[in-house]
Chains A and B, each alone.
Chain A
Amino acid sequence: MKAIIIGAGDVGFHLAARLSQQGGEIVVVDLDQAKVDRVEDHLDVLAFQGSGVDYRVLGKADIAESDTLIAVSDNDEVNILACQLAARYEVQMKIARVGSDYYYGDSPLAPFSSLGVDVMVNPEEACAAEVQKLLNFAAATDVVEFADGEVILMGMRVGERFLYRDMPLKRIAGEFERRNFLVTAISRGEQTIIPGGEDLILEGDLLYVIGKSEAVDDILRLAGYENRKLQRVMLAGGTNVSVRLAHLLEDGGATPIIFEADRTLCATLAEELGASLVLNGDATDLDLLQSEGVDGVDGFVALTESDQNNIISSLVAKNMGATKTIAQIKRLEYMSLANRIGVDATVSPHLSTVNAILAATHSERLLTLATLRGLSVQMMEVSIREDLPIVNKPLKDLKLPPGCILGSLVRGSRILIPHGDDHLEPGDKAVIFTLAKQARKVSKFFL
């Protein structure tokens, strides 16, 4: 892959890191020299200072030979224009981060395809959708879907009601009738472990379990949880993400309760959201939280622009009895930290954007690519070619690189959670977990 990334902010930086780790030849462009320096100092990529719509800069970045352009600057219009310029150079995949609503739509007047962008990613929409998923699977900290929704990956913190203490994974598997899921990674403190049969699950571990979507209940049982339907959800901050989320929740039959300090904004919110309760107040106001019934609320989602406020209000709400707290965190480096200090789940418009874009930069064989919190584990959904040497051999005989685990296989219409005796057939869609550092080695194995 030869890609140009316009914009070296959080999103651009992490995309460049991921794609470069995958072996791509990446060039990053940004107006800010300081950002360019940061990229050059930390990543094995080329970086230039300049505008992403300046044809001379694009020329220096070798756009004529590039196959992908990813425009993720702060400015929608620059992103779209960059994609249009790229079209003139016959760049095959053009992805733009577009935040404004009015560029999207189903109406025949909506200009999507004629704008020249192959994939438009809306960070706020992606983030809101992710929050909704997290709320739906109340116990989960991460939810990713594969194989068109038939295979699901859930991240969960081991709960108080965890029944399988001190049992090696092999034995735990034996406790479940249908082995429809697999523990693919464990996040313990700062470490990420790809576990084997002998490993134990400890309290406080964050488990990443992959399984068939129908096995959700079993998966939750594993970690000591039950699933519940959402009824009341508190949202702190009347931001765009908040509004989108509120719509999604209303559609799903839940009642959003929104806290917004600015009175005029509250009026707008009340007008737009019919079934929600709009409160003119601060979500860090303990009395207000108490009186509005934070104790027992199904979810508390902190979506203000301030990471710190989001973390604090989540911790407060949790302390006062909220079932599940989710905080929006912009600084990707703080996400796993927030998890460890007591926030149940974290979301980030940036991470959602990164994941959405990685998913779009697939090739025929690499169907999906996603990263998890802490960004040290990477998941790939790959279509197995027939000429790979690993085909038709029992899995336990394949010498897979360390730090890599095969999570699930979709064969035709069947979904398998693979065990040592299973084998790979051509045409299988496999979901593979690896430590981000091994990503390149592992890709070579399967692609």
Chain B
Amino acid sequence: MKIRLVLHIVGLLQVFVGLTMILPVLCAAYYGEPEIWPFLWSMGLTMLAGALIWSFTRQEEDIRVREGFAIVTLGWVATAAFGALPFLLSGAISNLTDAYFETLSGFTTTGASILTDIEIMPRSILLWRSQTQWLGGMGIIVLSIAILPFLGVGGMQLFKAEVPGPTPDRLKPRISQTAGLLWGVYLLLTVSEIFLLRFGGMDLFHATNHGFTTMATGGFSTRNLSVGYYNSAYIQYVVTFFMFMAGVNFSLHYRFLTGLRPTVYAKDREWVFYIIILGGATALLFLYNGVSGAGFAEKNFRGSLFQVVSITTTTGYATADFDAWGPLSRVMLLALMFVGGCAGSTGGGMKVIRLLLILKHGKTEIKKLLHPKALFLVKVSKIKVRPEVMLNVLGFFTLYIALFIFCSFLMTALGLDMITATSSVAATLGNIGPGLAQVGPTLNYSTVPLLGKWVLCGCMLLGRLEIFTVIVLFMPEVWKKF
């Protein structure tokens, strides 16, 4: 492991992240908030620390695959640490663990919050909170690749380590172009949502915050009641639509925008399966809630749809206390936490494509029982799935479930009841945010014991970086000098 090289790039990343703090600085200036000083200090400290690390580890060597993993993992850990400075320095969150939790929950687009009252927070703090999600959504590393061309060839290793999904798409020959295009689509959708929310009556500040956190499928809201605060059907449908869009493979969005043929979506089997899951779950929930007393009005439909899309895409907004819904709803929503968005989207979870591949694989195994000598191929969107990819997906699934069980065990051992323990792990591993019971949509993570918060921080990071990127660093051979 070329440690100097890793530190070199991580340092550079911090300078970059520090620079982005300019936005909350401007916000604080506009609203005349005293928090402008903690932000300026944080910005200065972060950029200075980053610059120092960067210049003391000057390196001309190339990034290999293993350095890619280290840079992405350490980069995220460090970014969350420096990103927590504004919270700490302004006193908005005075506990170190809580501040780190909230910041990491931001960057990993989880959306689990330790804040008991969001609305008393200063606007610049809230903006930074939402901004961490927006940066983490498409990826701080991907953004760097788009903007810093010299990350060139090494950029590819970083791209693969940060972008979720079994085999990330390359849209253009150079990785910096692909990264730039993804961020371009991301920006376009964000701005569109902000505009449409304004049109629905939301003021610019809140619209911007929600735009940021929707497209990142993060889920931080500026309201204690999350999106449920806004009783407008229009606003809830707009948010639902953009959550849905954020959960789609951004390469598909790019191809649609450059060709304007809607069949681009329908031809992608993962997208079709995504629709089926969302549609099916919404229908089931709607019927169940209807029968359980909510009736079959539009409100029930809107609520069911919103919650299903929010949880499946791993956004984590709430327009209802879904924890108070019947037991079947709670189980279904818990199950949906494992699905996630499509590969190449900002969603978390296991990703729809993996689920699709596993189901197809299962079907093939059953067919082989009937025709032992037959050769069956798994195909998705008319492309043959190679055995290595299939094995990788199965491995991921196993690791994910194993982690879920292990961490649930840890959380229970730390004192949480079973539902809270398991749902908190599912919600952080899948980067959704709100869980059930003690960490339900109307509550928060403040009651989780200190050690538990750190376990959940681990889950958030593992989930966002799709496990392997982080786990690889636990193998001692990776750290050998070469």
A contact set with B: CB distance below 8 Å? 2, 20, 25-27, 40, 42-46, 437
Known: A25-B173, A44-B152, A44-B155. 5 other contacts (CB 8 A): A26-B173, A27-B173, A44-B174, A45-B173, A45-B174
How near does chain B come to A438, taking the closest CB pair, in angstroms? 9
Q: Cβ of B172 and Cβ of A44 under 8 Å apart?
A: no
Q: Cβ of A46 and Cβ of B173 under 8 Å apart?
A: yes
Q: Which residues of B contact A26 (CB under 8 A)?
A: 173
Q: Which residues of B contact A27 (CB under 8 A)?
A: 173
Q: What are 5 residue pairs bridging A and B, where the CB atoms are less than 8 Å apart in the complex?
A: A27-B173, A44-B155, A44-B173, A46-B170, A437-B60
Complex Cα distance, B298 from A210, in Å, reads 82
Cβ of B153 < 8 Å from any Cβ of A? yes
Q: Most chain-B CB neighbours within 10 Å: which of A25, A26, A44, A437?
A: A44
How near does chain B come to A259, taking the closest CB pair, in angstroms? 42
Complex Cα distance, B152 from A26, in Å, reads 13
Complex Cα distance, B172 from A20, in Å, reads 13
Cβ of B156 < 8 Å from any Cβ of A? yes
Q: Mark B167-189, 1 if CB is under 8 A from A, else 0.
A: 00010111101000000000000
Q: Which residues of B contact A437 (CB under 8 A)?
A: 60, 62
Q: Which residues of A contact B174 (CB under 8 A)?
A: 20, 25, 44-45
Q: Most chain-B CB neighbours within 10 Å: which of A25, A26, A46?
A: A46
Question: Which are the 7 A-B pairs with shortest beta-carbon distances?
Answer: A25-B173, A46-B173, A44-B153, A45-B173, A44-B175, A44-B152, A26-B173
Q: Which residues of B contact A44 (CB under 8 A)?
A: 152-153, 155-156, 173-175
How near does chain B come to A243, taking the closest CB pair, in angstroms? 40
Complex Cα distance, B152 from A44, in Å, reads 7
Complex Cα distance, B186 from A356, in Å, reads 43
Q: Cβ of A25 and Cβ of B172 under 8 Å apart?
A: yes
Complex Cα distance, B174 from A45, in Å, reads 6
How near does chain A come to B266, taking the closest CB pair, in angstroms? 20
Measured CB to CB, the nearest residue on chain B to A17 is: B153
Measured CB to CB, the nearest residue on chain A to B154 is: A44
Q: Which residues of A contact B156 (CB under 8 A)?
A: 44
Complex Cα distance, B62 from A44, in Å, reads 13
How near does chain A come to B270, taking the closest CB pair, in angstroms? 20
How near does chain A come to B174, taking the closest CB pair, in angstroms? 6
Q: Mark B141-177, 1 if CB is under 8 A from A, else 0.
A: 0000000000011011000000000000010111101
Q: Which residues of B contact A20 (CB under 8 A)?
A: 153, 173-174
Partner of A46, one of B152, B153, B172: B172
Complex Cα distance, B155 from A20, in Å, reads 13
How near does chain B come to A98, taking the closest CB pair, in angstroms? 26
Q: Which residues of B contact A25 (CB under 8 A)?
A: 172-174, 177
Complex Cα distance, B150 from A309, in Å, reads 42
How near does chain B come to A28, taking the closest CB pair, in angstroms? 9
Q: Which residues of A contact B153 (CB under 8 A)?
A: 20, 42-44
Q: Mark B52-70, 1 if CB is under 8 A from A, else 0.
A: 0000000010100000000
Complex Cα distance, B174 from A43, in Å, reads 9
How near does chain B come to A436, taking the closest CB pair, in angstroms? 11
Complex Cα distance, B156 from A20, in Å, reads 13
Complex Cα distance, B68 from A42, in Å, reads 13
Measured CB to CB, the nearest residue on chain A to B152 is: A44
Q: Which residues of A contact B60 (CB under 8 A)?
A: 437
Complex Cα distance, B173 from A2, in Å, reads 9
Complex Cα distance, B339 from A204, in Å, reads 62
Q: Which residues of B contact A43 (CB under 8 A)?
A: 153
Complex Cα distance, B174 from A401, in Å, reads 24
Q: Which residues of A contact B172 (CB under 8 A)?
A: 25, 46
Complex Cα distance, B168 from A40, in Å, reads 12
Complex Cα distance, B170 from A25, in Å, reads 13
Q: Which residues of B contact A46 (CB under 8 A)?
A: 170, 172-173
Complex Cα distance, B175 from A43, in Å, reads 10
Complex Cα distance, B192 from A324, in Å, reads 71
Q: Which residues of A contact B170 (CB under 8 A)?
A: 40, 46
Measured CB to CB, the nearest residue on chain B to A403 is: B60
How near does chain B come to A404, taking the closest CB pair, in angstroms? 13
How near does chain B come to A26, taking the closest CB pair, in angstroms? 6
Complex Cα distance, B152 from A20, in Å, reads 10
Q: Which residues of A contact B175 (CB under 8 A)?
A: 44
Q: Mark B380-402, 1 if CB is under 8 A from A, else 0.
A: 00000000000000000000000
How near does chain B come to A435, taking the closest CB pair, in angstroms? 9
How near does chain B come to A73, taking the closest CB pair, in angstroms? 19
How near does chain A come to B269, taking the closest CB pair, in angstroms? 19
Q: Mark B406-444, 1 if CB is under 8 A from A, else 0.
A: 000000000000000000000000000000000000000
